[in-house]
Amino acid sequence: MSILRLPLPEKLNQRLTLAARRSGKTPARFVRETVEARLAKADLPLTEGPSLYARSRDLCGSVSGGPRDLASNKKHLNGYGAWKR
């Protein structure tokens, strides 16, 4: 486990100590659990590296032909998914 040293203003340190005491945890455990919960809500990517867009951006516009209204005209969806039945 690595250690993070973080300077806190005195009032924030007092609030942290009080919140940890009320929850029955040490300040370190309280901070760890709070950071874990916040990161879980942040919806960050689980892997590092380029996104799918970054990896495939050179493919955008590389196909010529096809209907211009493919994304907006529902008639192109006729029969789509029929193979599942």
Instruction: Give the pLDDT confidence score for residue 13 in this predicted structure.
Output: 96
Instruction: Give the pLDDT confidence score for residue 24 in this predicted structure.
Output: 97
* pLDDT above 80: residue 45: no
Q: Residue 39: helix, strand or coil by DSSP?
A: helix
| CB contact at 8 A, 51 and 41 | no
Average pLDDT over residues 37-62: 82
Distances (CA, A) of 68 to 26, 44, 64: 61, 35, 10
Centre a 10 Å sphere on the Cβ of residue 10 and count the other Cβ atoms it contains: 7
C-alpha closest to that of 14 among 25, 29, 27, 33: 27
Identify the residue with better confidence: 47 or 40.
Answer: 40
The residues, any chain, with a CB within 8 Å of residue 45's CB and separated by 6 or more, are 51
